[in-house]
A and B are shown apart, each in its own frame.
Chain A
Amino acid sequence: MSISRKPWLWSFVAALVVFVITIAATAGASTGGVMQAALTFAAISIIVGTGQMFVITLGPGNIDLAVPATMTLAATLALKYMDGVAVLIVPGLLIALGIGVAIGVLNYALIKLLRIPPIIATLAMSFVIQSTAIATNRGLRIKPPQMLADFTTGSLLGLPNLAWVALLVTVAAWLLLNRTVYGRWVPAIGQSIAAARMAGVPVDGVRLATYVLCAVLAAIAGYLMASFSGGAALDMGKEYLLMSIAVVVIGGSSVAGGDSNVPGIWGASLFMYLVVTMLNTYGLQSGARQIFTGIIIITVILVASGRRRAS
């Protein structure tokens, strides 16, 4: 198989290059520490990005802009319900999942029943969700149960627990895409919704399921992230809107839909975290940092898509 058939390779190459430059600053002394940090924080982007990838694969115009608000609401309600009590960890998780399902259904209801384009429908939903999060807890940070906090900050076999969860999500997503009928239907709709409909694909059911999947993964990410950082904050999801889209694109999925790439999300998420770490480590000023981040991302996308065209 040629390199051009593996667009995900480029995100890993980019991550590796940035990683080597970062640890070179301390002549390799920081290798373990940087790797642990990168895996921990990339895990959240991976979980959120995987959901967004399914939605984007549905084809042009499909995107979920309610991801940050979903993370915030799921985390806020779950942590408020658990109120630091260990036995409520599982019911708390179920609440987060339930919120994800509800938001996914509502998102698609707006898109389908009111015929609003996804970009507007999910943006409108995100205002409703965010306002609900504000109204329920007024931005107070409630601490997670200690056991849950220990789990999210802990490690197993040298790999952070969050990375294990992300790995689980990735394997499940890969199986779903490559080994199930649903996984064939999603890119089929993305390539041509009319053709898919004629071929007998249950288009509405698949799209509904996909928006629900994305919202549920965002809810899980919010639940884990709030437990990791000591409580839900109203603006905790803010960065994960662009991040969720960026990791999909850098990871080698087609932004026009119809062609998705699961492993690439890992490379892209590690890369996005390591770029910031690298620029911090070398002490660049914030203006320069943002310019460099932009340039590096554009370069990676150009290199990756250039290879694809060449094939």
Chain B
Amino acid sequence: MQARTILASSVLIAASAMTAQADTSNARIALSNNYAGNSWRQAMLESWNKETAQAVADGIVAEAPAFTTAENQATEQAAQIQNMILEGYDAIVINAASPTALNGAIREACDAGIVVVTFDGIATEPCAWRIEVDFHELGRMQLEFMAGQLPEGGNLLEIRGLAGTSVDDNIHAGILDGVAEYPQFTIVGSVHGDWAGDVSQREVAGILPSLPEIAGIVTQGGDGYGAAQAFAAAGRDMPLIFMGNRQDELLWWKEQDEAGGYVTQSASIAPGVATAGFWIAQQILDGAEPPKDLIVPMLVVTQDTLDEALANTPEGSVANTEYSQQDAIDVINAATGG
């Protein structure tokens, strides 16, 4: 009897979701964020607030508040998501503290008929959508670029991210594939810079005295400027450093270029990817049915776009872009082959 009621009501929910086509003006979408303690996350929250405030003003959704947990802990974030379920949000957009530890809470949200979209820090629960940039390609493209600049190849120093994270593993795997593709390059040293300038500077300074001449540095973002400072302090020849869109990296690149010519490239995941999560959640509420795994483009800065990127990036922040509703529709169409 009870099972039949649940079945009937879930059919009802499904039916009402169908008929909700093109009207999300009453929808409430929450951001569940696990960490705010670095410039990337701060830019992310700023993007979210900017883009959703406009969406609320335009009457596209009713509200879209952002919530950040005090400690970067999965248990705390799971409790936060459970509160959001009780508060009756229509969709929850999550930057997850752990790929697996939130799966239970996410399952509960899905069972309550809530659309769950994870991005950047994604969750593996099958009922949730996952928005990622192609981190493997971010690693591989660095070698492709280096091969174009340094056809004769040479020694590489690899600066990795936070050990044990999927992002670090994926970029690293991409770099290894890139080295296999362009065998004129050899990785002669590797340190973990944790995506932080000061950590990278410290680790590079330590390994540098024992390294042969370095032609290029492959990176993961946030580490390029620290590496450059370590090389400068040791009085070594400045290698080709692939940058990661931080303002201090871009500014240093421009200064080097003006001082005597310095050609490189920069790429990273834009903090505004949170707004892609917002719009994709809105589209799903609107009736779109994208596949669960979605790829958004990376933000690449080249020699030609350097001045523009630098002009648009606040001092000390990270190059950013917000994703629009149209961008989300394009991502969904690309994924569905439409």
Chain A residues close to B by CB (< 8 Å) = 22-23, 25-26, 29-34, 36-38, 40-41, 127, 130, 134, 137-143, 153, 225, 228-231, 233-236, 239, 273-274, 276-277, 280-281, 283, 286-287, 289-290
Find chain B residues with CB under 8 A from A280 CB: 189-191, 203, 206-207
Known A-B contacts A140-B317, A141-B39; the reply to A233 vs B198 at CB < 8 A is yes
**Interface size band for B:** 35 or more
The residue that B210 contacts in the complex, of A26, A153, A230, A290, with Cβ under 8 A, is A26
Q: Nearest residue in B to A30 (C-beta to C-beta)? A: B209
Closest to B314 in A: A140
| Pairwise interchain contact A230-B225, C-beta atoms closer than 8 A | yes
Q: Which residues of B contact A138 (CB under 8 A)?
A: 39, 42, 46
How far is the CB of A223 from the nearest CB of chain B, in Å? 13
Interface: B38 (CB within 8 A):
yes
Is there contact, CB below 8 Å, between B198 and A225? yes
- Bound CA–CA A19/B285 (angstroms): 60
> B residues engaging A (CB < 8 A)?
36-43, 46, 70, 160, 163-164, 189-192, 196-199, 201-203, 205-210, 225-226, 229, 233-234, 246-248, 314-317
Please classify the interface of chain B as helix (H, G, I), strand (E, B), loop, or mixed, using the class held by over half of its residues: helix
Interchain residue pairs with CB less than 8 A apart (21):
A29-B210, A33-B208, A37-B208, A37-B209, A134-B42, A139-B40, A139-B43, A139-B317, A225-B198, A229-B197, A229-B229, A231-B316, A233-B38, A233-B39, A233-B196, A236-B198, A276-B203, A277-B207, A280-B207, A286-B160, A287-B164
Distance between A235 CB and nearest chain B CB, rounded to angstroms = 5
How far apart sit A247 and B146, CA to CA, in the bound complex (Å)?
A: 41
Chain B residue at smallest Cβ distance from A277: B206
Inter-chain contact A141/B316, CB cutoff 8 Å = yes
For the complex, give the distance between the alpha carbons of A230 and B316 in Å: 10
Please give, as numbers and ranges, the residues of chain B lying within 8 Å of A26 by CB-CB distance.
209-210
Q: Known contacts A229-B201, A280-B203; is A235 also within 8 Å of B209 by CB?
A: no
Interchain CB contact (< 8 A) of B38 among A230, A234, A276, A287: A234
Output the least CB separation between B171 and chain A (Å). Answer: 13
